[in-house]
Amino acid sequence: MAVSRHNVWETLQVGGGGRIGWWVDRVLITLILASAAAITYESLPDSLRWTRQLELFDWLATSVFTVEYLGRIWSCSEDPRYTGLKGRLRFALSPLMLLDLLAILPFYLGIVMDLRMLRLFRLVRLLRLAKAGKYSSGLALIFAVLRRKREELVMSLSIMLAMIFAASCLMYQLESEAQPEHFSSIPAAFWWAVVTLTTIGYGDVYPITTGGKIVTGLFALLAIGMVALPTGIISSGYIEALHDSKSTKTCPHCGKPTQ
């Protein structure tokens, strides 16, 4: 039975293609997780006795991913947006397709160099495959919130960066003489500022002067609110988008009203 381009395109769409598409998604997810487990196991000394088996599995997994990648390129003309040579090229350069390419490229480049760890890019494919089933609308809604609130998020990030720079300058002035090994310059003080203002507080670098301790306390208190600000923006945006989606029945993928 001849394989039509339309059937290949429908089957390879996440969450599409009926029963066959469902199995294709599950096989790909299984191979991705198994590849991650294999990469992890290869870091152990005991893996040397399974080198041949691991190489065979890598060959099998990469072959499946390659067939899938080529199948998408071949069948993408079924979508009106990707017809013709320019359309195929635009499809091949899309973010998800570039990630797919990164998933298989290390295997072929490994012939001339050791790029085994780059196979971890296969894990990124889970972001696309995870959209199948009941999580598709939820993930699309989150991305819609990030797009809607991007200006507020950029502003909060800008304020955070400004605070980090100001804290680094102050701590350099207050601590450089007492701790030249940690605060030898403003860039060197960035590490302390990032760790303090993100409330991580590793404790590897800390002030010992009175002025430094006072400044640290003030910025630590300010940082609590600054870290919570992006969280509040995203939370409120998610609630708004969820309310709008339910009240207007809009598609979470494109934002257009549904029938």
Tell me, yes or no, whether 106 and 160 share the same domain.
Answer: no
Token pair of 239 as six digits: 């609630």
**Helix (H), strand (E) at residue 215:** helix 210-248
My answer on whether 10 and 124 are in the same domain is yes
The answer on 201 and 119 residing in a single domain is no
CA distance 119 to 105: 8
Q: What is the pLDDT of residue 248?
A: 57
135, part of any domain: no
Q: Which of 103, 130, 157 is the C-terminal boundary of a domain? A: 130
With 50 as the cut, is the pLDDT of residue 252 above it? no
- Provide the mean pLDDT of the chain: 79
pTM score = 0.57
User: What is the pLDDT confidence band of residue 46, given thresholds at 50, 70 and 90?
Assistant: confident
Residue 257 resides in a domain: no
The pLDDT of residue 157 is 86
pLDDT at site 15: 62
Which region among 12-16, 157-161, 170-174 has the lowest average model confidence (pLDDT)? 12-16
Instruction: Kindly state the percentage of the chain with pLDDT values over 70.
Output: 79
Q: Based on the fold, state whether residues 173 and 221 are members of the same structural domain.
A: yes
Under 8 Å between Cβ of 32 and 123: yes
The torsion region of residue 15 among left (phi > 0), alpha (psi -120 to 50) and beta comes to left
CA distance 126 to 103: 11
Residues of the domain holding 156: 148-248
The answer to whether 216 and 223 are in contact (CB under 8 A) is no
Q: How many structural domains are present in the chain?
A: 2
- Domain end (from 130, 158, 192): 130
> Which of 194, 204, 203 lies closest to 227 in space, CA to CA?
194
